[in-house]
Chains A and B, each alone.
Chain A
Amino acid sequence: MSRSSIFSFESYTAFRPRVPWTLLGVLGLVALMELGLRSLSEDFIPPLHSRMGIFRWFEREVIPAFERPQVLVMGSSRAADGVTPRFLDEALGLPEGSTLNLALQGGTGFDALRFYQRNRERFRKARLLLINVDEWQFTSRMGPGYRYGACAPWGERWHFAERVELIRRKGESDGAWAARCRDHAERLEQQRNRLLLDGAFYARSVLHYLPKSLSIWMGGKARIRVLDENAQVRLAGLEVGPAEIPTSVFEKQVRDFYDGFDVHPLMVGHLEQLIGLAKADDLRVLLLQMPNRRAYQQEVDRLAGMEYDRQSEVICALGRRHDVPVFCFRYPEACGLEERDFADYGHMAVRGSRKFTAFLGKLIREKQLLPADADDKRSAGASLPAVRK
C-alpha cells in the first residue's frame, strides 16, 4: 500500500498483540460469579424477606396454605394493606381461606402475571380475580419494578425503548414539549440498556443480597413477614393513621409518581395478558383503583390532574377492551373512608382496611360479580360499565 493511500496499518507497526491473560482472568471471574449465582436456589438468594425475594416467599409460604382459593387479589402494597382476606370471605359468604391476597410491596402487573403463570394450575380453579391498579404501574419510570429487571422476557427488554409519548401539559410550548420528549426518549433508551444488562447479568439483581443470604444460611436473623390471623400480609400496622400529613410530603410523592408520566404499552400489556389468561381459565376479572387519602388526591389533582385522568382512562379502556368491570375511586368518601383510615398517602391503616374490605364485599355482592359456581363463572356481571367515582 502506497504512502498516499487512505488506508494503512502504519499505526500498528509497534503493536505486538499478546494473549490478554488479565482480561481473560477478569472475564473468567465475572463469568464464574454469574454462573454461581444463577445455579443457587431461589430460596437462598435473594433472601425471602427482601423485596426481590418476597415473590418466592409468597409461593413457598403463602400460596400452599390456600388449598382452593376462590378469590384472588393481586396488585401493589396498597391492595396488600387494603384488602383483608378473612373479612372479604365473611362479606361474600365464602368459607375461611377462600380469598388469597397476593398483592406485593412494589407489586406490578408483571408480578401479577408471573404469579398467575407460575401457579396457574391452582389459580384456574378460582372464581374471581381482583386486580388493583396503581398509576405508577403504567409508567416506564416506575412500572418495571424490582423484579422486572431480573425476570422480564428478552423481547420486552429489547423493545422497551419504543416510542412512548408523554402527556403534553396545558400551555406547554412546542420547544419545551419537544425537549421533554427528547429527554424522555433518552431516558427510555437508558432504561432499555439497563434492562438488557439486567438480563445478561443476574448478579445485577441479586449480588447485593449475598452477604444477607449467607448470614441467614449460617443461622443469622432474617426479618420475617407474617401471614396474620386475617390471612393478610400487612405492611402498615397502624390501627388508625394520622389525621393530617404535611402537604410537602405529598408533593414529593406526586413528583415521584408523575414526573415524566407516560403510559408504557408493555406495562399495560402485562395486565392484558393476565386478563386474557384468567378469562381463558373462566375466571371473572375485576379491575380496581383504590382511593387515596383526600389531601393527597387533592395534591395529585393540583399537580398532575391530567396525568391522573389519563391513567384512569387507560384502566377504563382496558376494561372495555376485555369486557371487564372497572371501579376507579378517586376520593375516599366514595368507599366510606376518611383521612385517619390511611396510614400515609394511600396505604390503609387496619381500620381503613376493615372498612374498605366490607365496602368491596358489598360491591361484589350487589353487582353480582362473584360467579356462583364454576358453571356460572363465564356469564355473571360480564357487561358492567366502568365506574369512576
Chain B
Amino acid sequence: MLFNSFVFWGFFVIVLGLYGLLAHRWQNLFLLIASLFFYGWWDVRAGCEGRFIGLMLLVAFVNHGVALRIAACGDESVRKRWVALGLVFSLGVLGLFKYFDFFLVSFQSAFRSLGWDVPPWKLNLVLPLGISFYTFQALSYSIDVYRGRMAPAKRVLDFLLFVTLFPQLVAGPIERASHLLPQVERPRRMTWNGWSCGAWLCLLGLFKKIVVADTLAPLIEPIFRQPEACSSWTLLWALYGFSFQIYADFSGYSDIARGLASILGFDLMENFNQPYFSTNITEFWRRWHISLSTWLRDYLYIPLGGNRHGTGKTCWNLFLTMLLGGWWHGANWTFIVWGGLHGFYLVVHKLMLGGRKPVAPVASRWRLPASLLKGAATFHLVALTWIFFRAETLAAAWTYLAGIVSLRTEQCMVRAKAGPVWEMDADNVQSAAWLIAALWLLIDLPQYLSKDHVAHLRWTYPAKVAVLATLAIWLLTIRGGENVPFIYFQF
C-alpha cells in the first residue's frame, strides 16, 4: 500500500474515522491492527502469506523481552549479556535477510579468483519491507533501556505499536523509543493545528513524490542504464536530476509520514531539513536523513569512542560509522563506496576545521557569495556520491564517472562512431529544470529561511492560498504513469 495510491488514502480515511471515536487504549489496539493490515497488504502481495508480519512481531517481542529482562536485573554483566542477545538476534535477522547472499557471493567470487571451483549458490530470500528501519527502531529501545535512559514499555501492545506504527513503518523516520513510546502510552489529543500542519505536510510530500520525483525518474533512468551512450553534459544533467529525485522521493515520504502522524496526534521527528542548502558536508549530514544519522551517532559513533580519543581515532570512528551507514542501505559494494566517500568527506572536513567549531561567517558583502559557493561545492560533492548510490555495480558507476570526466560531446561520439548516442531531449531538460526550481523556490527556500516546515501556513491568506493552490493544481494535473514505489522501500 503506497502513500501515493488511492487505496492508501481510502485506508487512511477509514482508519482516521474510526480512530477518533475510540478511547485511548482501544485506539492503540486499533492502530496496531491497522498497521499490521497496512504491512500485510504488501506482505501478501509479495507472495509471503503474512510470514513477514510474523518476523516483524518476533523482532519486536524479542527486543521487548530483552528490555524487560534488563530492567529486572541488577547485575551489570547479566544485563550486558541480555543486551548482547538482543543485538545478536536483531542484527542476525537483518544480516540473514539482507546481507547473507552478499557475503556468500563475495566469498564465492573471492575463492574463484584464487582458482578454487566454488558452485554458485544463494539463498535468494525476499527482503522484508522496512526490515532495516524496524530493526534499528526496536534495537534502539533495548539499548536505551540497557543504558538506563528509559524504562521498558508498561504494556507489550504499546511497544508493538511503537515498532509497527504505519506512517513510519516501512521507511522511517527511525524513531527513538524515548520520543515515540511516551506518545503511544499517553492519551493523544487531536488538534486543529495538528490537522492543518499534517495536511500541509501530506500535500508537500505528495507534491515532492508524484510531481518531482516520479517525473524526474523516467528521464534519468535510461541515462543511468546506458551511460556509455551519453555525452558528458547529459550524464551531468542526469546526475543533478537524480540528486533531486532521491531528495524529493525520500523527503516526500518523510513529510507524508510526519503529516499522517500529526493528524493522528503523534509527533514524528524531522528527517530532512533542506539538505541541499548545506554549506559543508558536516552540515549536510545534520540535514539529510536525520533519524539515521543521529541513530548512527548515538548507537555506533559514540560507543566506538566518538571524538574522545584523539584526532586519529575520531577520524577512524567517523569513517567507519559512515561506511557502515552506507552499507545499511543495501548489500552492495556501491553502497559501501557511497558511505566510504561520505566518511572520507567528513574526515577531511574535520581535519580542515582542526579543533575549531564551525562558525557562521561574519556579516559582510562576501557572506552571501561565499555561502553560495560553499553550498554549490557541497552539493557537487554529494552529487558525486549519488553515482555510486544509483549505479547497480561498481563498474557501472566507474563508467558513469569516466563519462563525465571525459568531457565528451555528442558530436565527438558520433565522429568516433562510439555506437548509439542517447541525448537528453531539450524539452525534458526544461521540464526537469522547472520542477527543481519549483521545489526550491516554492518549498525549500521558504522553509529554510524561516527554519519551519510549515512556514507557508503562517503566510498571509492570499499568499498561502496561492502557493497551496499552485501545488494542488500541479499535483492534480500531473499525468504520471504507474504508481512508483518510494526508493527507500528497497532498503
> A residues touching B (Cβ–Cβ < 8 Å)?
3-18, 20-23, 25-26, 29-30, 33, 175, 179, 182, 187, 189-190, 193-194, 197, 201, 203-204, 207-208, 246, 248
Q: Which of B166-174, B379-387, B460-468 is the contact stretch?
A: B460-468
Q: A201-B477, A203-B477 are in contact. Are A8 and B465 (CB under 8 A)?
A: no
Chain A residues in 8 Å Cβ range of B26: 6-7
Chain B, range 441-491, C-beta contacts under 8 Å to A: 457, 461, 464-466, 468-469, 472-473, 476-477, 479, 482-483
Instruction: Check B414 for interface membership: any CB of A closer than 8 A.
Output: no
What's the minimum C-beta distance from B218 to chain A, rounded to whole angstroms? 13
User: What 15 new A-B contacts, CB under 8 Å, besides A6-B22, A29-B465?
Assistant: A5-B23, A7-B22, A9-B20, A9-B21, A11-B19, A11-B27, A14-B189, A21-B461, A33-B473, A187-B482, A201-B476, A203-B473, A203-B477, A246-B420, A248-B420
Asked whether B465 lies within 8 Å of A11 as measured between CB atoms, the reply is: no
Contact of A190 among B21, B27, B465, B483 (CB under 8 A): B483
Asked whether A15 lies within 8 Å of B23 as measured between CB atoms, the reply is: no
Chain B residues in 8 Å Cβ range of A175: 47
Asked whether A10 lies within 8 Å of B196 as measured between CB atoms, the reply is: no
Q: A26-B465, A246-B420 are in contact. Are A204 and B477 (CB under 8 A)?
A: yes
Asked whether A190 lies within 8 Å of B5 as measured between CB atoms, the reply is: yes
Chain B residues in 8 Å Cβ range of A204: 476-477, 479
Chain B residues in 8 Å Cβ range of A179: 47
A179 to B44, CA, bound (A): 11
Chain A residues in 8 Å Cβ range of B6: 193
Asked whether A11 lies within 8 Å of B20 as measured between CB atoms, the reply is: yes
A11 to B186, CA, bound (A): 11
Chain B residues in 8 Å Cβ range of A7: 21-23, 26
A33 to B466, CA, bound (A): 13
A207 to B468, CA, bound (A): 17
Asked whether A208 lies within 8 Å of B477 as measured between CB atoms, the reply is: yes
5 nearest A-B pairs in the assembled complex, by CB-CB distance: A8-B23, A25-B465, A29-B469, A14-B189, A26-B469
Q: A5-B23, A9-B20, A190-B483 are in contact. Are A203 and B420 (CB under 8 A)?
A: no
Instruction: Check B92 for interface membership: any CB of A closer than 8 A.
Output: no
Chain B residues in 8 Å Cβ range of A12: 20, 189-190
List 17 A-B pairs, Cβ < 8 Å: A5-B23, A6-B22, A7-B22, A8-B22, A9-B20, A10-B24, A11-B20, A11-B22, A16-B191, A22-B457, A22-B461, A25-B468, A26-B465, A29-B465, A29-B473, A182-B45, A204-B477
A4 to B22, CA, bound (A): 11
What's the minimum C-beta distance from A144 to chain B, rounded to whole angstroms? 12
Asked whether A16 lies within 8 Å of B189 as measured between CB atoms, the reply is: no
Instruction: Check B187 for interface membership: any CB of A closer than 8 A.
Output: yes
A12 to B199, CA, bound (A): 17
> B residues touching A (Cβ–Cβ < 8 Å)?
5-7, 19-24, 26-27, 45, 47, 187-192, 196, 199, 265, 420, 457, 461, 464-466, 468-469, 472-473, 476-477, 479, 482-483
Asked whether A11 lies within 8 Å of B265 as measured between CB atoms, the reply is: yes
Chain B residues in 8 Å Cβ range of A9: 20-21
What's the minimum C-beta distance from A38 to chain B, rounded to whole angstroms? 14
Asked whether B477 lies within 8 Å of A18 as measured between CB atoms, the reply is: no
A23 to B465, CA, bound (A): 8
Q: A5-B23, A6-B22, A190-B483 are in contact. Are A11 and B188 (CB under 8 A)?
A: yes
- Determine the main DSSP class of B at the interface with A: helix
Asked whether B45 lies within 8 Å of A207 as measured between CB atoms, the reply is: no
What's the minimum C-beta distance from A20 to chain B, rounded to whole angstroms? 8
A17 to B196, CA, bound (A): 11
Which residue on A lies nearest to B431, using beta carbons?
Answer: A208
Asked whether B20 lies within 8 Å of A25 as measured between CB atoms, the reply is: no
Q: A13-B189, A15-B190, A203-B477 are in contact. Are A22 and B468 (CB under 8 A)?
A: yes
Q: A11-B189, A11-B265, A13-B189 are in contact. Are A207 and B23 (CB under 8 A)?
A: no
Chain A residues in 8 Å Cβ range of B188: 11
A91 to B406, CA, bound (A): 59
Q: A14-B189, A29-B469, A248-B420 are in contact. Are A22 and B196 (CB under 8 A)?
A: yes
Asked whether B187 lies within 8 Å of A10 as measured between CB atoms, the reply is: yes
A176 to B92, CA, bound (A): 30
Contact of B192 among A6, A13, A18, A182 (CB under 8 A): A18
Which residue on A lies nearest to B469, using beta carbons?
Answer: A29
Chain B residues in 8 Å Cβ range of A33: 473
Residue with the highest number of chain B CB atoms closer than 10 Å, among A13, A26, A182, A194? A26
A33 to B420, CA, bound (A): 44
A246 to B419, CA, bound (A): 11
Chain A residues in 8 Å Cβ range of B468: 22, 25-26
Q: A11-B27, A25-B465, A190-B482 are in contact. Are A203 and B476 (CB under 8 A)?
A: yes
A198 to B461, CA, bound (A): 29
Chain B residues in 8 Å Cβ range of A193: 6
A193 to B196, CA, bound (A): 26
A207 to B473, CA, bound (A): 10
What's the minimum C-beta distance from B44 to chain A, rounded to whole angstroms? 10
A8 to B18, CA, bound (A): 11
Which residue on B lies nearest to A32, using beta carbons?
Answer: B469
A207 to B26, CA, bound (A): 46
What's the minimum C-beta distance from A349 to chain B, rounded to whole angstroms? 22
A62 to B149, CA, bound (A): 79
Asked whether A26 lies within 8 Å of B472 as measured between CB atoms, the reply is: yes
What's the minimum C-beta distance from B99 to chain A, rounded to whole angstroms? 25
Chain B residues in 8 Å Cβ range of A8: 21-24
Chain A residues in 8 Å Cβ range of B19: 11
A23 to B192, CA, bound (A): 13
Chain A residues in 8 Å Cβ range of B24: 8, 10-11
Asked whether A14 lies within 8 Å of B23 as measured between CB atoms, the reply is: no
Which residue on B lies nearest to A146, using beta carbons?
Answer: B479
What's the minimum C-beta distance from A146 to chain B, rounded to whole angstroms? 10
Residue with the highest number of chain A CB atoms closer than 10 Å, among B23, B27, B482? B23
Which residue on A lies nearest to B188, using beta carbons?
Answer: A11
Q: A21-B461, A182-B45 are in contact. Are A14 and B22 (CB under 8 A)?
A: no
A22 to B454, CA, bound (A): 14
Residue with the highest number of chain A CB atoms closer than 10 Å, among B19, B477, B482, B483? B477
Contact of A6 among B23, B187, B466, B483 (CB under 8 A): B23
Q: A21-B461, A201-B476, A207-B477 are in contact. Are A30 and B469 (CB under 8 A)?
A: yes
What's the minimum C-beta distance from A60 to chain B, rounded to whole angstroms? 25
Asked whether B187 lies within 8 Å of A25 as measured between CB atoms, the reply is: no
Which residue on A lies nearest to B481, using beta carbons?
Answer: A190
What's the minimum C-beta distance from A46 to chain B, rounded to whole angstroms? 13
Chain B residues in 8 Å Cβ range of A207: 473, 477
A6 to B190, CA, bound (A): 18
Which residue on A lies nearest to B467, using beta carbons?
Answer: A26
What's the minimum C-beta distance from B71 to chain A, rounded to whole angstroms? 28
Asked whether B190 lies within 8 Å of A11 as measured between CB atoms, the reply is: yes
A197 to B478, CA, bound (A): 11
